[in-house]
Structure 1
Amino acid sequence: MSVFSVAATAYTFFVTLLARGPATAMTLGIGFVASRFFAWQLLQTALWSVAWGFAALSSVI
């Protein structure tokens, strides 16, 4: 569940930055979640902090 929340909040953040490129934002969000940095630590405690960080960045921008 936390992997999907990271993907959703990353997508929301990238859509906020790239308003005219939702396909690019989707690709960046999926690529961010599928990166090796998160692949080795699929723990909920590690992923929720990233999800909340993207949510905070999206709300500020």
Structure 2
Amino acid sequence: MNTRPARGKRDPRDIVDTTLRALTRSTLSVIDGRANALTPLIFGRLLPPQFSALIAERVMRRS
């Protein structure tokens, strides 16, 4: 049985490591993974709010 995560998915052990590291530093917020870290930058600062809302709406309709 393959226990590795699918491509583009984070391994749960990596997520736990990130979480535990943040807890030892008393960090208020943590973003795990490069793609997840880029999302707020792109949608929060680089794209106009209307465009970000349009993309979010389309993604939510697909799921």
TM class by shorter chain equals 0.3 to 0.5
The structure with higher relative contact order (CA 8 Å, sep 6+) is 1
Q: TM-score, normalised by structure 2?
A: 0.34
Work out which of the two has the higher radius of gyration on C-alpha atoms and give 1 or 2: 2
Higher normalized helix content (fraction of residues) = 1
Query: What TM-score does the superposition give when structure 1 sets the normalisation length?
Result: 0.35
